[in-house]
Chains A and B, each alone.
Chain A
Amino acid sequence: MAEKVLMKGNEAIGEAAIQAGCKYFFGYPITPQNEIPAYMAKKLPKVGGCFVQAESEIAAINMVYGAAGAGARVMTSSSSPGISLKQEGISYIAGAELPCLVVNIVRGGPGLGGIQPAQSDYFQATRGGGHGDYRMVVLAPSTVQEAVDLVMDGFDIADMYRNPVLLLGDGMLGQMMEPVEFKERKPRQLPEKTWAATGWKGDRPRSVINSLFIDPAELERHNIKLQAKYDTIEKEEVRYEAYNTEGAQVIIASYGTTSRIVKNVIDDAAREGIKIGLIRPITLWPFPKEIFAKVVGQQTVKAVLAVEMSLGQMVDDVRLAVNGQKPVYFYGRTGGMVPRPDDILRQVKMILGGEA
């Protein structure tokens, strides 16, 4: 077993990427994720890789596009305003079907917003922040250990489906330290990158990295092919944690850092004889619809409460998944404010008391 080390979320994400074989990082600094590029700048040259601090986020994501097109394991990271700038490139990468990992350590918005943790980029992450009919796989860790595991899996998922993968954290996860273990893992059987543009020597058809399809019929065919891939991902890659859900009176839906606070609420409520369950989506896209449908169907469940560090984004997906079976309520703080356990518990009591 590997030794446990105490690491900051951001640094652990960097180390996990290197251990997953990531050789290239292109980025531009922004708080609260700066420890990721700093770590990569220090470590990548030692493993024969390359770190470039680009002149802008847009340059950085296009360097990722290029490296991914050449078949490299490549990543970039940023925080909310920087991720907005990268959306054009991400759309091109999705259109050209290239694998890469993008990390968003979310801060409060809109605009430049603030630098404290938030979850207000959920819509951007799960609806495709750029233009066109595309999807990114969105992974939402709640602990530093889970961030490490999901970074490693994220590269594999990207390669498996030739699709960008987004790791969605927040300032708290990036800045906090927790013990982590870099476990030996069994990599997936991944297809060979026969499509990579690595220099043509006449021994195979030319590889062309492209997202331009002028003929509408051809572009429609391309989109239908992408859609078939997204359908497969929806079948194969859904992840969630269902915690304390059996016989629960209220189900809280919450992801990432916020779900940790909800776990405290569950303990506090239990001491008062209230049973709360948690459904924590780990993949925000594909969203774990089926578990919601199953859990909220229980007779004991009176209502569902979505708790987020936003003014209500994931709650839309929760409503779609619950599909009218039970009422869905929302509680959130935003702008870098973090929900307090006692405030969440008060919401639960109001719901149970019919005051919400």
Chain B
Amino acid sequence: MNEQIIIAGFGGQGIMLMGQLLAYAGMLEGKYVSWLPSYGPEMRGGTANCNVIISDSPVGSPIVTEATTVIAMNRPSLDKFENSLKKDGLLLINSSLVDRQAERKDVRSYYIDANDIANQLGNLKVANMVMLGALVELTGIASIKTVLESLKKVLGPSKQHLIPLNEQALERGGLRVK
């Protein structure tokens, strides 16, 4: 396994958290992992992205130049990263916010209405977990169980009450692409 993942969207959509959960889950399943954020004078509503590598061998460069997966949570992210994807790579598009189809025909594209699903669950903030559920279902990078375990560690003791909602979001995302 050598998954090279780019996750991108607006600041505030939980982009960094998605990447961290993936990296954490990869680590718990015994893989070599790295997580690299874009950093700079950024703000809520600005653009944010992170690079995640999950591999069977030690991670060299933490920068993803040829992605096996791109998750585009908004339109600017799709515009920016569609071409970073390898041939036959996986392109996950948040169709609730992205108003166009993929231009690339040599990749596997999936459209997931993540914001709508999150709204149905009663909390827009879990749109990221819907996407993560879809990614895990499609790639088998880690099990949903491990992602949940990671979430428990990352959220900390004061936010454990949010676990059931996040679990639902992960499941709904997975079902969407089954």
Give the B-binding residues of A (Cβ under 8 A): 4, 6, 31-32, 115-116, 171-172, 175-179, 260-264, 267, 338, 340-342
Contacts and interface: CB of A to CB of B under 8 A. Distances in A.
Contacts of A341: 61, 65
B23 to A, nearest CB: 6
Given A172-B62, A177-B20, A340-B65, A6 B40 contact: no
B39 A171 contact: yes
Nearest to B39: A175
Contacts of B24: 6
Given A4-B27, A6-B24, A115 B40 contact: yes
A175 B65 contact: no
A175 B33 contact: no
B60 A6 contact: no
Interface string B28-57: 000011111101110000000000000000
Given A31-B39, A32-B39, A172-B63, 12 more contacts: A6-B27, A171-B39, A172-B62, A176-B37, A177-B20, A177-B34, A177-B36, A178-B33, A178-B35, A178-B62, A263-B60, A341-B65
Contacts of B41: 115
Contacts of B65: 340-342
Interface in B118-158: none
Contacts of B20: 6, 177
Contacts of A179: 27, 32-33
Nearest to A32: B39
A176 B61 contact: no
A10 to B, nearest CB: 11
B35 A6 contact: yes
A12 to B, nearest CB: 13
B63 A338 contact: yes
Contacts of A32: 39
A260 B33 contact: no
Contacts, number: 56
Contact of A178 (B34, B40, B60, B63): B34
Given A6-B20, A175-B36, A177-B34, A260 B27 contact: no
B59 interface: yes
B174 to A, nearest CB: 23
B34 A176 contact: yes
Interface of B: 20, 23-24, 27, 32-37, 39-41, 59-63, 65
Contact of B62 (A115, A116, A176, A262): A176
A340 to B, nearest CB: 6
A6 B62 contact: no
7 contacts: A116-B40, A175-B36, A175-B37, A177-B35, A178-B33, A263-B61, A264-B60
A171 B36 CA distance: 10
B33 A6 contact: yes
B17 to A, nearest CB: 12
B39 A115 contact: yes
Instruction: Name which of A175, A178, A262 has the most chain B CB atoms within 10 A of its CB.
Output: A178
A176 B33 contact: no
Nearest to B62: A176
B36 A6 contact: no
A262 B27 CA distance: 24
A188 to B, nearest CB: 28
List the 10 shortest-distance A-B pairs measured between CB atoms, nearest first.
A263-B60, A177-B35, A264-B60, A261-B61, A176-B36, A179-B27, A260-B60, A264-B61, A260-B61, A6-B24
A95 to B, nearest CB: 36
B125 to A, nearest CB: 22
Contacts of B62: 172, 176, 178, 260
Contacts of A175: 36-37, 39
Contacts of A263: 60-61
Contacts of A260: 59-62
A175 B38 CA distance: 9
B59 A178 contact: yes
Contacts of A342: 65
A115 B23 CA distance: 25
Contacts of A264: 60-61
B147 to A, nearest CB: 13
B84 to A, nearest CB: 12
Contacts of A31: 39
Nearest to B19: A177
A115 B65 CA distance: 21
Contacts of B36: 172, 175-177
A116 B62 CA distance: 15
A171 B61 CA distance: 14
A261 B62 CA distance: 8
A51 B104 CA distance: 53
